[in-house]
Amino acid sequence: MTQTVVNVQNVKKVFGKRNENQFHALNGVSFQIKEGEFVGVMGPSGAGKTTLLNVVSTLDQATGGLIEIAGSNITNMKQSHLSDFRSKKLGFIFQDFNLLENLTIYENIALPLSLQGVSSRQIKPSVQEVAKKLGIEGILEKYPATVSGGQKQRAAAARALVHEPAIILADEPTGALDSKNAKSLMEAMTHLNHNHNVSIMLVTHDPFSASYCDRILFIQDGELYKEIQRDGTRSEFHQSILHVLAEFASAEEE
């Protein structure tokens, strides 16, 4: 039976203190992500996508509802436990790569393991394996400044994966890439998903990147608006995504 990696039930997020101007960014969102699923999150700007990713990724706290990741309830976990949980169970890819310029690509990828105190003897085969999966074995001794944007983002993906997290969380990972590098990153992520059963939650406003997902959750005004599942080719799915985005656009014009 396929395991549930992420279980989100009736999650709410309110910004601002009581008696002040409060903003309801998430109004009761529920969904699940199964092991090995590649799920996209889309919606208009300000819909609550980043807020949703932040509460799932433990970087921010939900105001209400339940979030379980790999069987652990993170909504009642203590801060001290959370940082440990985050570093062991989650992998992050951000728009701006977040690579450390003073470390080589190898050292950057090794970072999640070095921070956990894993010995360098054990780190080496893990870094080499993940670099191979992402096709960046040849640049491990280079510094970030000397490689392309696409290679940097693959290095960031390798770093997100090196400690074998339960899920990879990505917020607009192709946002700073040109279309060629965006395509190669999405292909690399699809490869990880298909061949290595890596579970991925991807926030994106880019329909092309989203077309690589198995399923898309569309959110609007902090609520789940619609969910679509890919059942044909990628270009058919791309068309279906564009249709939903057109619904949003026409709603805005009304």
Ligand X SMILES: Nc1ncnc2c1ncn2[C@@H]1O[C@H](COP(=O)(O)OP(=O)(O)O)[C@@H](O)[C@H]1O
Q: State the residues that interact with ligand X by CB under 6 A.
A: 15, 23, 25, 43, 45-51
Q: How far is the CB of 236 from Mg ion (least distance, A)?
A: 27
CA atoms of 60 and 242, how far apart (whole Å)? 30
Return the one option of ligand X, Mg ion, none that residue 143 interacts with (CB less than 5 to 8 A, by type). none
Return the one option of Mg ion, ligand X, none that residue 47 interacts with (CB less than 5 to 8 A, by type). ligand X
CA atoms of 154 and 88, how far apart (whole Å)? 20
Total residues contacting Mg ion by CB under 5 A comes to 2
Of 7, 50, 128, 190, the residue at the interface with Mg ion (CB under 5 A) is: 50
The smaller minimum CB distance to ligand X, of residues 51 and 57, is found at: 51
The radius of gyration of the chain from alpha carbons, rounded to an integer in Å, stands at 18
Q: How far is the CB of 6 from ligand X (least distance, A)?
A: 17
197 by DSSP, 3-state: which? coil
Return the one option of Mg ion, ligand X, none that residue 25 interacts with (CB less than 5 to 8 A, by type). ligand X
The smaller minimum CB distance to Mg ion, of residues 19 and 45, is found at: 45
Q: How far is the CB of 49 from Mg ion (least distance, A)?
A: 5
Q: Which residue has the tokens 């990505």?
A: 170
SS3 content of the chain, % helix, strand, coil (to 5): 40, 25, 35
Residues with Cβ within 8 Å of 218's Cβ and at least 6 positions away in sequence, in order, are 42, 43, 224, 225, 226, 227, 228, 244, 248
The smaller minimum CB distance to ligand X, of residues 126 and 209, is found at: 209
Residues with Cβ within 8 Å of 146's Cβ and at least 6 positions away in sequence, in order, are none
Return the one option of ligand X, Mg ion, none that residue 91 interacts with (CB less than 5 to 8 A, by type). none
Q: Is 220 in the site for Mg ion (CB under 5 A)?
A: no
Q: How far is the CB of 205 from Mg ion (least distance, A)?
A: 8
Distance between start and end Cα atoms, the chain: 45
Return the one option of ligand X, Mg ion, none that residue 46 interacts with (CB less than 5 to 8 A, by type). ligand X
The smaller minimum CB distance to ligand X, of residues 4 and 95, is found at: 95
170 by DSSP, 3-state: which? strand
Q: Which residue has the tokens 């068309």?
A: 239
The smaller minimum CB distance to ligand X, of residues 20 and 141, is found at: 20
Q: Listing from the earlier edge strand, what are the strands of the sheet with 38-42?
A: 90-93, 167-171, 200-203, 38-42, 215-220, 223-229
Exposure string for 47-61, b = 16+ CB within 10 A, e = fewer: bbbbbbbbbbbbebe
Q: How far is the CB of 115 from ligand X (least distance, A)?
A: 27
- Bridge-based pairing state of the strands 200-203 and 23-34: unpaired
The smaller minimum CB distance to ligand X, of residues 44 and 112, is found at: 44
Q: How far is the CB of 52 from ligand X (least distance, A)?
A: 7
Return the one option of ligand X, Mg ion, none that residue 177 interacts with (CB less than 5 to 8 A, by type). none
Q: Which residues bind Mg ion (CB under 5 A)?
A: 49-50
